[in-house]
A and B are shown apart, each in its own frame.
Chain A
Amino acid sequence: MNGGGMPSDGTERGAGGPAEVASYEPVIGLEIHVQLRTRTKMFCSCPLSFGEPPNTHTCPVCLGLPGSLPVANAEAIHYGLMIGLAVGSELAPRSIFHRKNYFYPDLPKGYQISQYDEPLCSGGRLGEVRIHRVHLEEDAAKLTHVGSSGRIHGSDASVVDFNRGGTPLAEIVTEPDVRSAEQASEWLRLLRTTLRQLGVSDVNMEEGSLRCDANISIRPVGTTQLGTKTELKNMNSFRFIERGIRAEVARQEALLRAGETVTQETLHFDPRTEAITSLRSKEEAHDYRYFPEPDLPPVRITNEMLHRARTAMPELPAARETRFASVLGLNVESARLLSWRAELGDYFEAALDAGASMHPPAGAQPLANWISELTARHDGDDPADSKVTPQALATLVGLVGSKKLTQGGAKQVLDRLVAEGGDPAAIVDAESLGAVGGADELAPVVRAALEANPDVAAKLRDGDMKPIGVIVGYVMKETRGRADGGEVTAIVRAELGL
């Protein structure tokens, strides 16, 4: 089962619940809110806000002033269609907006314009997770509670910034196909990359342009009936999502093992304390009194709109992964890494284009490996932000491929490139890092190594090859890593007549 990370200490043995239940599996569905990167808000012409002073990007519509009316943003609908196409949804030729009614100070009209039973996109799949629907709605304003607690209860006052209010959101709802916390965060990375590739969102979790809720239940492994679910709200990083889901799964499992039941409720996960607290129970759930938004005519998707969305579609991670694997011959890990992390894939392709000496697929896999080396030296950030140009990395890989540079030598060159940038060939020349090769150059060094380690030489002659590393290490040290280990071994054998 996929429920890795489940705490098993104590709970399994100690609980007095049904003894034969060995293990539970989590059943998780995700609801993701994506702020769309449109020019203007969902239902008015205010520009989107990126940290401007409070209440400067507002108008009668997004302030909910009397008499104002919404007009749907065509660009948001376009982005919604692109998301639908990316996950293979059925795109509704006619969809409608509904009003979701509830009172809260961050909701100026007293209702949120959203979609209900006729969403823009239905069904679909991304990776191994099926998509239930994708719909459009407007974001709420930002409420800040002034005073002690930071929450509305007990605060001295609350202030509202309507800059965010009305920002277009796409809500993506999955089927309950996720089976672990790790899978949830891994899949969210794929979704994030897909959305970034589409160019429809900044997909920045910390800044709230990508937000995730999880519907979580557990059931005994091997059964199909769904357990009572809880909804974990608004986790704003991949780490918190993993930790939050893990904690909630553990909480539910502990309840069931203790013979208790899970209550349907909406929960909040505090990443600092790992505490899960109830926001509201099923009984306290809102009756949103959904009804069709009379101020907006139905959204009718024309062939022209579909054509425009299809034309705007870039290559998506799943397709790119397939291409990297089948056309360029990358291994599974590299293909997934370079496609799911689009910036790595972009860097990879730029280097491929730059490397005239490289002939895919032969040079592709080594290049992929060297990109991993580069990111490891660059804190995992986008290599495009490093001092190493794709051209430089391509040259480096070419030097290794043509045996002009050893792996060890190349790592030293890469260190220099990361620190200072520049041309690898020039660094190799200036630092004399070029590979040392051939019997002419290496045989004297090997002989010196054997002479310096007579006992090792004796063992080798007797056919015990274990200590050969000592000889290779000596040669590497002498050549400052510029020799090829395999070649050194071959010369040792030749020298000893083995």
Chain B
Amino acid sequence: MDVQEIIGLTAAQAIAAIERGDLDAVELFSAYRRRAEEDELGAFTWVAEHLPADMHADGPLRGVPLAVKDLFCTAGIPSQSGSKILEGYLPPYTATSVARLEHAGATIVGKTNQDEFAMGSSNENSAFGPVLNPWDRTRVPGGSSGGSAAAVAAGLAPWALGTDTGGSIRQPAALCGIVGLKPTYGTVSRYGMIAFASSLDQAGPLTRDVTDAALLYRHMVGTDPNDATAVGHPEEIRLPTAERLDGLRLGVPTELTSGEGLEPGVLAAFEATLETARGLGATIEECSLHSAPHALSAYYVIAPAEASSNLARFDGVRYGLRREADDLVSMYTGTRHDGFGAEVKRRILIGTYALSSGYYDAYYGRAQRVRTLIAREFASVFERCDLVVTPTSPGVAFELGAKTADPLAMYLNDSFTVPMSLAGIPAISIPCGLSEDLPVGFQLAGPAFSENRILDAAHALERAIGFDGSPARTRTGATS
């Protein structure tokens, strides 16, 4: 096979080709390793120099290369969470989810760029530079898993691991025209994921198609003695086969789809997808998530509050950046002043304030009550609907720098993804068409642990939509 043929394969197709003997796992790894090394998008922060000695090519994933978001700890491999404060940091251990995948036969080909500590929606907050969208290099790939999304879309990796706190898998997947699954909170261990907001962070796959998402996710789930919040999954994750949506009731929350800021091209692609779903036998009905308009406000209290505490460990004492000083407080402040970027500092300040004595009830306490309401409203909607569907993002990929001066405009990118994060429920984004020649994402969310249902529905829609992601691959690395 030549390189173009190889990178044209999904991970599942590559596994099949290896099993048939048409493709060699080493050849596959080398092809991707070379493409990752020649990355012009800024998608990678580290690329493997050679094939690892302990490749598990006999595992079910057959040694297929995997790109891993920078914030997953990988033993002996830089794990910096996009931050200068962790520049060059080599963890002594590997995150449980990554270790599981390696054990199943995945081979780490590189670590991918991200917004610093996963705080951002454009990947412009990385200490290691922005990532360019392979569909249009003047635009952002979304964030915070921007490097993972761009790498998969551009064919620099067959698939990738990301994390989603308020949309950090789904939004970049949408903006890069690929599939991104945020699983039910707690189904995948968080051990070894450099924490942003502990009660929201969840690892998930970014893939070429829905089948790959199911395949990667199936090897990530499980309980973990090192993560007390990891509950595993009550069902075995199946590879989706559905081609129809007969009898499936899709709820469209009016609060989310009639709001301001939704680009007309995105709305058109969304509505066209609803028609496609109807054609496959689904029923579409309006539903209501009354508190959803408050989700973003609640999220931007809870996530920074947890982050302000999670990031306290970066103090220059034991690892990472340290600014020497004559006294302790100066060492602390110098280290954190120089080590953290502007957005991270902003969120630490917001979070510190929200938890302060005298303000806790008004901010953190109230945000938690909103969170409870949203979870209840989803539960009530799921009594009448099987899945809730929305556009993944209110707009397509925007130009680099377009929103960096306006944090609130940037935060609005998350308005369709944050409610599911607060409720802890699973949601997937699949590409559903183009607007202004850029991909549009379609989000399907279901009750906790309904990944199989979501993957089936997404699979049927994906087949009917027939989205072509190849332009992003051919525009990238065409010269090599």
Report the nearest B residue to A291, measured CB to CB. B355
Whether the pair A72, B228 counts as a contact (CB closer than 8 A) is yes
B309 touches A287 (CB 8 A): no
Interface size band for A: 20 to 34
Interface residues of B (CB under 8 A from A): 71-73, 79, 81, 86, 89, 91-93, 95, 190-195, 197-199, 225-229, 305-306, 308-309, 311-315, 317-319, 328, 332, 352, 355-357, 360, 364
Instruction: Note all chain B residues with C-beta closer than 8 A to A361.
Output: none
Q: Are A109 and B191 in contact (CB under 8 A)?
A: no
In this complex, which of B73, B317, B364 has the most chain A Cβ atoms within 10 angstroms of its Cβ? B317
User: What are 19 of the A-B contact pairs (CB < 8 Å)?
Assistant: A61-B226, A66-B194, A66-B195, A67-B194, A69-B229, A71-B227, A103-B315, A108-B313, A289-B308, A291-B305, A291-B309, A291-B355, A291-B360, A291-B364, A295-B227, A295-B229, A296-B228, A297-B228, A297-B229
**Complex partner residue of B312 from A67, A111, A160, CB under 8 angstroms:** A111
Q: Are A66 and B313 in contact (CB under 8 A)?
A: yes
Interface string of A128-161 (1 = CB under 8 A from B): 0000000000000000000000001000001010
Select A289's contact among B95, B191, B199, B357, beta carbons within 8 Å: B357
Q: Which residues of B contact A57 (CB under 8 A)?
A: none
Asked if A60 is at the interface (CB within 8 A of a chain B CB), the reply is yes
By the criterion CB–CB under 8 Å, are A99 and B317 in contact? no
Question: Which residue of chain B has the shortest Cβ distance to A109 in the bound complex?
Answer: B313
A66 near B89 (CB under 8 angstroms)?
yes
Query: Measured between C-beta atoms, what is the minimum distance from B33 to chain A in Å?
Result: 25
The contact string, 1 if C-beta is below 8 Å from chain B, for chain A 91-110, is 00000000101010100111
Seen from chain A, the residues whose Cβ lies within 8 Å of a Cβ on chain B are 60-61, 63-72, 99, 101, 103, 105, 108-111, 152, 158, 160, 287, 289-291, 294-297
Interface pair A67/B228, CB less than 8 Å apart: no
Q: Which residues does chain B contribute within 8 Å of A66, judged by CB atoms?
A: 73, 79, 81, 86, 89, 91, 194-195, 313-314, 319
Residues in chain A near residue B199, CB distance under 8 A = 294
Contact check, A111 vs B315: say whether CB atoms are below 8 A apart.
no
Task: Quote the shortest CB–CB distance from B322 to chain A (angstroms).
Answer: 12
A164 to chain B, nearest CB (A): 15
CA distance A101 to B71 in the complex (A): 23
Complex Cα distance, B313 from A66, in Å, reads: 8
Q: Interface SS of chain A: helix, strand, loop or mixed?
A: loop
State the Cβ distance, B182 to closest chain A Cβ, in Å: 17
A101 touches B79 (CB 8 A): no
B79 partner residues in chain A, CB cutoff 8 A: 66-67
Main secondary structure of the interface of B (DSSP, over half): loop
Q: Chain A's nearest CB lies how many Å from the CB of B118? A: 12
How distant is B156 from chain A, measured CB to nearest CB, in Å?
25
Please name all residues of chain A whose beta carbon is closer than 8 Å to the beta carbon of B309 when the two chains form the complex. 99, 101, 110-111, 289, 291
| B226 CB contact (under 8 Å) in A64, A71, A297 | A71
Q: For B73, give the chain A residue with the smallest CB separation.
A: A67
A68 and B318 in contact (CB under 8 A), knowing A289-B356, A291-B364, A294-B198? no
> How far apart sit A450 and B444, CA to CA, in the bound complex (Å)?
115
Min distance, Cβ A380 to any Cβ of chain B, angstroms: 44
Q: B228 to A65, Cβ gap below 8 A? A: no
Q: Which A residues touch B308, using CB under 8 A?
A: 101, 289
CB of B173 to closest CB in A, whole Å: 23
Q: Contact between A70 and B228 (Cβ–Cβ < 8 Å)?
A: yes
Q: Judge whether B194 and A289 touch: CB under 8 Å.
A: no
List, in ascending order, chain A residues with CB within 8 A of B311's CB. Answer: 110
Question: CA–CA, A423 to B312, complex, Å?
Answer: 66
Cα distance A61–B224 in the bound complex, in angstroms: 14
Contact A103-B332, Cβ < 8 Å, known A110-B313, A291-B309? yes
Q: Which of B93, B318, B356, B364 contacts A64 (CB 8 A)?
A: B318
**Cβ-defined contact, B312 with A287, below 8 A:** no
The 6 closest A-B pairs by CB, nearest first: A110-B312, A289-B355, A294-B198, A294-B199, A67-B192, A66-B194
Chain B residue at minimal CB-CB distance from A43: B228
Q: Is the CB of A65 within 8 A of B319?
A: yes
Chain A residue at minimal CB-CB distance from B80? A66
Chain B residue numbers with a CB within 8 Å of A297 are 228-229
Of all chain A residues, which has the CB nearest B190?
A69
Query: A66-B195, A68-B191, A110-B313 are known contacts; what are 14 more A-B pairs with Cβ within 8 Å?
Result: A65-B92, A65-B318, A66-B313, A67-B193, A71-B225, A71-B226, A71-B227, A101-B355, A105-B315, A110-B311, A110-B315, A287-B356, A291-B355, A291-B360
Q: Which residues of B contact A295 (CB under 8 A)?
A: 198, 227-229
Q: CB-nearest residue of chain B relative to A61?
A: B226
| B191 CB to nearest A CB, Å | 5
B313 / chain A contacts, CB cutoff of 8 Å: 64, 66, 108-110
Chain A residue at minimal CB-CB distance from B195: A67
Whether A67 pairs with B357 at a CB distance below 8 angstroms is no
